[in-house]
Amino acid sequence: MSKLRNPAARRGGTAARRPVHLDALRELIEPTAPDPTLLFERGLKLLVNQLLVDRAVIVRITDLGYETLWWATMDGSDLDLGSYEPTQNFCPQVVEQAPRALVIRDTKRDHTLQGHPAVEASSVRAYIGIPLRRDDTVVGVLSVQSSLPRKFTQGDIVLVSMVASLLGSAMEIEMLKQELHQTREALDLTMSVVEDSALEAHDTRLPSRRYLDIWLKAYLFMARRRTEPLALVLWKVPLTRDSRKALREISDMARGEDLLVDMGKETFLMLLPRTSLEGAAVVVDRMRSRLGPIPMGTALWDPTVLEDHDDLAIRLALRRAHTALASSHGTLGTAPEA
């Protein structure tokens, strides 16, 4: 097993010799048929520990732009996706330079990079970027980044290229699996629309509980992979002419990815993808401006929590939302999550 270097060794210069790259690479590919997700994690950690850089990141290129998928950091901290912007971390330059690697040993000494957002905002001093390809198309970027200047050797560049080749193949398989999954879910939804007239609640013309079950199958698969939270807002309101109008207004003002569901028995659920409890509280205030100061319960499905990660029917999150709704009766504020 390769000996992992302490982060302080990057600056000390007297630590033990760096483990041989090929030995570390052999350990990465030794397991037969490794799980792709585990392979991504191990591959990125290998690069961080072998090259003694701050982070290693895989970014995928989609029709909507760059999407950060996997990462590893020297100190084990999480990557702040709110502030990490791939377009400002040399990804466009890597794509433009494909199929060659982009190697920057010191951004401060490269006059062509002066004023670049990655230098100013992210304090990146050294960088290796390798394009990930699918046939003749660049579908992603693997990069290693350091806040200190680095004299990357040819061996370092070869190591990153070899790991990029391995992880690129794994990413292509994962993309094919994802496309197959999405196609299957789309087919299931289409068949359900044809065969099941219960996708729309009769009284409100809102999506029904049956529709919710199908929606969850299609959405939570990728939300779990991307570790994206899902906020829930639950409330009850008698169905009157005014409340029906308010529900329709709430549905119309929702974001395209939000979903308002008629759960039956005058109970309603708003699902807010990629939204925290704080963000849900803002939505609650907006909905109360239409419905009045009624009790509402909020909860969060968080795929980074084990009990939610394996709960793709959000049963536990729904239970917490019901508990929060019960606690909020008699108050005007949103009850804390149970």
pLDDT digits (tens, 9 = 90+) for 117-148: 766 666 788 999 999 887 778 888 999 999 89
Contact present, 266 and 237 (Cβ < 8 Å): yes
Confidence of residue 11 (pLDDT cuts 50, 70, 90): very low
pLDDT at 114 (0 to 100): 74
Q: Is pLDDT above 80 for 19?
A: no
C-alpha distances (whole Å) from 102 to each of 96, 134, 141, 205 are: 10, 19, 10, 54
- First vs last C-alpha separation in the chain: 44
pLDDT digits (tens, 9 = 90+) for 74-119: 988 887 765 677 777 888 889 988 888 999 999 888 877 777 776 6
Contact present, 56 and 167 (Cβ < 8 Å): no
pLDDT at 210 (0 to 100): 85
pLDDT at 333 (0 to 100): 40
Give the whole-angstrom CA distance, residue 240 versus residue 43: 58
Domains contained in the chain, CATH given: 9-177 (3.30.450.40), 196-328 (3.30.70.270)
DSSP, res 17: P
Average pLDDT for the chain: 79
Residues 6 or more apart whose CB falls under 8 angstroms from that of 150 comprise 51, 53, 105, 106, 125, 126
Peptide bond into 99 cis (omega under 30): yes
Residues 6 or more apart whose CB falls under 8 angstroms from that of 266 comprise 236, 237, 238, 239
pLDDT digits (tens, 9 = 90+) for 50-79: 999 999 999 888 776 888 888 999 988 887
DSSP, res 333: S
